[in-house]
Each structure stands twice: as structure tokens, then as C-alpha cells.
Chain A
Amino acid sequence: MLDYITSYLKSDTTPGSAGNLFWAFVYIVLIFLGLSVAVIAMNWLERKILAHMQVRLGPMRVGPHGLLQPIADALKLLIKEDIMPAEADPFVFWIAPLVVVITAFTVFIVVPFGPTHAVTDMNIGVLFMLGVSSLSVLGVVMAGWASNSHYPLMGALRSSAQMVSYEIAMGLAVVSAVLMTSLNKEGTGTLSMIGIVQAQQAQHVWFVFKFFPLGLIAFFIFAVAMVAETNRAPFDLPEAESELTAGFHTEYSGFRWSLFFLAEYSAMIAVSSIAVTLWLGGWMRPFPNALGGETWDLVFSLIPGLIFLFLGAITFYSTSRMPKHPYFRVQTLGLGGFGAVLALIGLLLLIPPVRDRVQDIFWFCAKVAFSMYMYIWYRGTFPRYRFDQLMKVGWKVLLPMGIGVLILTAIAGVLF
């Protein structure tokens, strides 16, 4: 048994391809926990960042700077009454949030956090991710129909039309990136997520900069389509508050609603990680060519630990600025403890063996986090599209652009 567990540590593949069920299970649990924490953090960050963009304070009451607000929200949702409309279709109403959540979490088994840090590496990685995440629209449609109410049905119809249209543009952008993998020295393309990053490593270029500006345009198409696919502002027509109250999940409350919330954010993380893997070099650190060499490798490997130490220092500074009233004593102690945890993680990341194993994961997560910040930024900046404008952008702008980029990439690949 112990041999079985330790035997994987010597291999240099993913647990899935090594056939080690124990480590695959460990990875699945870690990814699940990490995702849940990320969703909670995103909930707080989105409200805070949006508030600051609109010159407000945002949540300030629960915990220092509202840090415990998402936990309070989760508690509220769990003890809220669960209502099902009288004329609803009970089975479909019950299963719809499950479909959305399961599809949103399943895609993460192929996400490569590092050369060996993925649950498994599939031959059809990207195809699997696109296919499974396209199933989530079924859950949305089921939710909208089963509620037996007008606003949810309108939301579901909008959502299905929108997702089917943008999937095509998204697929074309992905194909042009997959085409680029076939242009490395070995000459065979790949759909595997790890293989795509390794192709970028072998060609010494992130695909967003390859065949400039073709890679950049493909990335742009994907970046627009992925916002539409996840039903986020400015393409959040299926849940447009001013027109449809809450769209397809109007009739959902309590825990079921929180499942939709969870699924929306993990789907955002999933499509962001596709974008990062295909165009932004996956787990590779920034500037592998311009700032190459042993010294720069060392400098970049120190960054994760230093960032956590910096965050810890900021937290300690905030702790010292907390009001000195006895009422705030618990909050001050909690914030100090949080800062101590951050600093401890920072110190842990500076130890050489840990540093080498974890920096891949850090760079991947940092790129995904950047993409998530962009999501919030879009929501704070762009006004919502009208539905006909949305369809026009999808079919008349992104689709022809995608086909053009695909053809030009193929031509460039043959010429250079």
C-alpha cells in the first residue's frame, strides 16, 4: 500500500497516465477545495473591486473590510427556505442545478497546473473541455423550462441561442491555436492540454505572440466568446436584471441557487484556464526568452514566496491600523492571524524543493487570476449589449474573423 503511494512520486507523469488512483483522488480533492476557495475569494473580490470602481466601499460590516462576507452569505443561503413553484416539473427542476455544477467541475480533470500537476492528460484534452462545458447550457435550459414561469423561460431561450452561436467562434479560435502546435519540430499537432503547453515551450513562444498578429486576434476572439459563454457582463442577457429579474434562475432560492452561483464562477475559471493554456503559455513563467538563463530562473522562482510575504506585510500594516476599541479586538486578532498565515505560506514557498515544485502552479494560477480580474473589469466598464447586437457580434464579426484567422494561420504555417 505504502509502496503504491510512494511509487508515483518518482514518476514524472500525471496520476492519470501513471494509473495511480490514490494520487488521482488526492489531486481531485485538492482541485475541488482550491476551486471552492477561489469561488469564495472571487465573490468577495468582485464585490470589493466593483465597489471601488464605482467609488463605493463595498461590504465592510462582517469582518475587517468585509473579509468574512462570503462566509456569512453562504450560511444565509444554506439556512434559507428552499422554494419550488407549484406548477414546476419537480424532477427536472431538481436535477438542473446538479447538471450545471457537475459539468463545471468535471472539466478540471484535464486542466494542466504544471507539467505533472493535472488529474490526467487526455489525448482529446481541449475537445473534452469544450464538449463538457457546452453541456452546461443544457442545465440552464432545463432550469428555465422546469420553473414553468415566463422570465426563466425567456432567459433559457436567450442563453441557449447565445451559447450555441458563440461556441462556433470559440471553436474556430481554438482550432487555430491547435494548428500552431503542429508547427513545432516534431511535426505532429496535439489536442492534449499538456501537449499544447509543451509545444509552446518547444517553439519558445506563447501562442498569443505567434505569427503576430494572428495569435493575438485568435486570443481576442476567444476572450470575447468566453465571456459570452459564461453569461457574464456585458453579455449577461440570460440574467439581465432590468428585463428578466434574474433570468433562468429566478425561481431558485437557497442552496439550489448557490449551486448556480458556484457553477458560474467555476465555469469562468475553467474557460480562463483554457485561454491560459492555449495562448498564454500555461504554467510557463513570463519572459522565458528575453530574461532567460540560470539567474533569471532563480529570480522568477523567488517571486511566488515574495508575493505572499508582501501580502502578509500589507495585512500586518492593516492590522496595525485597525481601530483600538475593545469591540474590534477579535477582528484585529483574526486579521493578524490571517497575515501570519500568508507570511508562513510565503516562507514555505521560499524553501528550494517546494519552490521548484510549486512555481508552475503559481504561474498558472496567477495568469488565471489575471483573466478573472478582467472579467470583473469588463463588468464594471461595459454596458450590456442588446440581444440583436449580441447575435450580430457573434455571427457577423467573430465568426468571419475566426475563419479568416484560421486560414491565414494555416498559410503562415506552411510558409514559415
Chain B
Amino acid sequence: MAPVATTFFFYFLSALTVLSGVLVITRKNPVHSALALIMSLLGQAALYLMLYAPFVAGVQIILYAGGIMVLFLFVIMLVNIEKSLKEDQFNKQWLVGMAAAVALGALFVFVYIKGKGLFPDRTIQMPEQSNTQQVAVLLYGNYMFAFEIASLLLLVAVIGAVVMAKKRI
């Protein structure tokens, strides 16, 4: 099926993602921030769908929005919110922050102006119907070694967490 109203959905989803991202840092209540972050992540998932990457979108929803954010909320609910509401929301580090923002903005402007030369002329259209299979071929075929190393790193992190949490094993 041919895509419908692509431009509208792109701008709508991008606006949703960016606005929720801004809400994450401006809300005083940490639970509201976490909910805004979930909206932002869901907007990202929809953008992945628009890029013909349904598998990445599904994984984004199931892992970030459904898994990790639930643990976030779980922790935030156990924190004393009255106390955190009285504390300062922002650190007084505007000088460093400004420098970082300017650097990132300059990078964006540079890419926007020079953009054509940096990317290949033709974008590869991934066929939507076999996206998952192609991801599998890349992960378990071409980049098998890197994939296994990443999973080993995660295993080390899991064991480390258990060792830190338990006094006697």
C-alpha cells in the first residue's frame, strides 16, 4: 500500500517527539517527566515505522516504552516526591550547557548546509515485508562477532548488578 500523507505524519510525529522531550526537562514532577519521556519514545517508534523499519519500531515499543520506562516509574514512585519538588530543578551550569548547545547547533547547521555531499545520492528502500528477516541476516550473519561481544558485555553487567546487590552469594 502506498504511504498516505507522509509529510503531515512526519512533522506531526517529530513535533510530538520534540515537545515531549522538552516537557521531560521542564516538568517539576518526576512522574510527569517520565510520562513525557514515554510519549517521546513512542513518537520515535512511529518515526522508525515511517522509515520502513517495523522491527526496530516494535523493539523500541516493547523494550523502551514497555520495559525500561516501567522500571523508571517503579523507582520514581518510591522516591519522596514532596522533597524533590522543593529542590532546584536545574544545575547552575549554564556556561557549559550553552557551549554544548552551540556546538550541537553548529553541527546541525553544518549538516543542513553541506548535507547533500555527506550522504549517498540514493537512499536504499528497504522492502517492508522482509525487514525482520534482513535484520536477522545482518545480526546473525555479517555482524555475528560484534553481536556476540555486545551480548557478553550485557551478561557482565547483569552479573555485576547481582554481585553489587547481594552481600553473600
| Chain A contacts to B: CB under 8 angstroms | 16-19, 89, 92, 122-124, 127-128, 130-132, 134-135, 137-138, 141-142, 145, 153, 156-157, 160-161, 163-164, 167, 188-191
Q: Which residue of A lies closest to B130 (CB)?
A: A123
Chain B residues closer than 8 Å to A128, beta-carbon distance: 58, 61
A145-B77 contact given A19-B2, A167-B67, CB 8 Å threshold = yes
Q: With contacts A92-B31, A138-B38, A160-B70 known, is A123 near B128, CB below 8 A? A: yes
Q: Report the minimum CB–CB distance from A45 to chain B (whole Å).
A: 30
B65: interface (CB < 8 Å)? yes
Collect the chain A residues with CB atoms within 8 Å of residue B57's CB: 124
Does chain A have a CB within 8 A of B108?
no
Give min CB distance, A109 to chain B, whole Å: 14
Interface assignment of B154: CB less than 8 Å from any CB of chain A: no
CA–CA, A128 and B69, complex, Å = 17
The answer to whether A156 touches B58 (Cβ under 8 A) is no
Closest to A18 in B: B1
The 8 A-B residue pairs whose C-beta atoms are closest, nearest first, are: A134-B66, A19-B1, A131-B62, A131-B61, A127-B58, A124-B58, A124-B54, A160-B70
Q: How far is the CA of A131 from the CA of B46 in the complex (A)?
A: 13
| A interface footprint on B90-129 (CB within 8 Å = 1, 0 otherwise) | 0000000000000000000000000000000000000011
Minimum CB distance partner of B64 in chain A:
A131
Specify which chain B residues have a CB less than 8 angstroms from the CB of A145 in the assembled complex. Answer: 31, 73, 77
In whole angstroms, what is the CA distance A163 to B66 when docked? 10
7 A-B pairs whose Cβ atoms sit less than 8 Å apart in the complex: A123-B55, A124-B54, A134-B65, A138-B73, A145-B77, A163-B70, A167-B66
Q: Which residue of B lies closest to A91 (CB)?
A: B32
Are B77 and A153 touching (Cβ within 8 A)? yes
* Contact partner, A123, options B35, B74, B129, Cβ 8 Å: B129
A164 to B68: give the CA distance in the assembly, Å: 9
User: In this complex, what residue of B is CB-closest to A161?
Assistant: B74
Check A156–B77 contact: CB distance below 8 A: yes
Q: Is the interface of B mostly helix, strand, loop or mixed?
A: helix
| CA–CA, A167 and B70, complex, Å | 12
Interface size on B, residues (CB 8 A): 30
Are the C-beta atoms of A131 and B66 separated by less than 8 Å? yes
The CA of A89 and the CA of B77, in the complex, are separated in Å by: 13
| B131 interface residue per 8 A CB criterion | yes
Residues of chain A within 8 A of B66, CB atoms compared: 131, 134-135, 137-138, 167
Chain B residues within 8 Å of A164, by CB = 67, 70-71
Q: Are B73 and A135 in contact (CB under 8 A)?
A: no
Residues of chain A within 8 A of B71, CB atoms compared: 160, 164
Which of A134, A153, A191 meets B67, CB within 8 Å? A134
The closest CB in chain A to the CB of B78 belongs to A157
Shortest Cβ distance from residue B128 to the other chain A in the assembled complex, whole angstroms: 6
A128-B58, A131-B65, A142-B73 given; 10 more Cβ-contact pairs under 8 Å: A89-B29, A122-B54, A123-B55, A123-B132, A141-B70, A141-B73, A157-B78, A160-B73, A164-B70, A190-B132
Bound-state CA distance A127–B62 (Å) is 8
List residues of chain A with CB within 8 A of the CB of B6: none
Task: Give, as a whole number of angstroms, the nearest-CB distance from B61 to chain A.
Answer: 4
B9 to chain A, nearest CB (A): 15
Q: B74 touching A157 by the CB < 8 A rule? A: yes
Residues of B116-152 at the interface with A, using a CB-CB cut-off of 8 Å, are 128-133
CB distance from B112 to the nearest CB of A (A): 32
Nearest-Cβ distance from residue B154 to partner chain A, whole angstroms:
14
A126 to B61, CA, bound (A): 13
* Residues on B with beta carbons closer than 8 Å to the beta carbon of A157: 74, 77-78
